[in-house]
Amino acid sequence: MSGVGVGTSVYDRVDATVEADATVTASSETSVLTATAQIAQYVYDDLRRMVLQHKIPIARDLDFRDYDDDPEDFLCKLFGDIERLLDDGLIASVTFILSDPIAGSDSRYVVRYRVTYRVERDIDPENIGRQGGYLAPPERLIPGAKFSMVADWSAESAGQRADYFTTGRYNFKWIPVNKAIFNDSQLSSQTRSGGFVPTEGELRVMRIEQAQNTR
């Protein structure tokens, strides 16, 4: 993600094509999963609760209208890919955004709520499991909001991505084709933190939430 001007960030959008089945399921046992699978499960559990509780049309907003009637199937496929993106070292973080549905006169989408998950190496992990509860977007910000997803691609993967996405390993074809500009100047400086430490490996994921200031 790269900053452009004060309070503005540019993110790659995802152009995706369904290719295969996913592996993430709500009933997976974290005790037998790899570190990246546990991390993907943690993020999946967060987003699934938020999407179903607030009836967020995630598939429609991400231009997968064939999944409008089955958001859980879409989420399973999406997080199967996130697990693989982590395994293959293609991403270091992922961000979910609720924004105004229409860009302003400056062609920027005003961000109402943002949550970022960043994977970090931790050679001596403590406090195994979930910390900080689940996502808590202010309900007043959700009606009418547009959902977006942002992948923060690792610099090392720049020359390898196309090879991964032509093998059938992924459910979706993660090839950025355009830019969307988000204006985050209205987000509060206060953040809500959480995270997760897997039972295996030397990784942890840090979660940071921000919401618009109260008007």
Q: How far is 95 from 46, CA to CA, in rounded Å?
A: 12
Q: Provide the percentage of residues in the chain whose pLDDT is more than 90.
A: 52
Q: Provide the percentage of residues in the chain whose pLDDT is more than 70.
A: 82
Q: pTM to 2 decimals?
A: 0.82
Distances (CA, A) of 30 to 24, 37, 39, 100, 213: 11, 8, 9, 36, 36
Nearest to 90 by CA among 149, 37, 151, 150: 151
Domain 2-211 has CATH 3.30.900: yes
Write out pLDDT tens, residues 111-134. Answer: 999 999 999 887 676 778 999 999
Q: How far is 22 from 61, CA to CA, in rounded Å?
A: 20
Q: What is the CA radius of gyration of the chain?
A: 17
**Averaged pLDDT score across all residues of the chain:** 81
Residues 6+ apart with CB under 8 A from 186: 7, 110, 111, 112, 212, 213
Query: Is the pLDDT higher at 88 or at 30?
Result: 88
Query: Is the pLDDT higher at 202 or at 32?
Result: 202
Lowest mean pLDDT of 22-31, 32-41, 118-127, name the range: 22-31
Q: Which two tokens stand for residue 19?
A: 């290719």
The DSSP code for 88 is T
Residues 6+ apart with CB under 8 A from 24: 37, 40, 41, 44, 76, 79, 80, 82, 83
Strands 179-183 and 109-121 come out as: parallel
Domain range annotation of the chain: 2-211
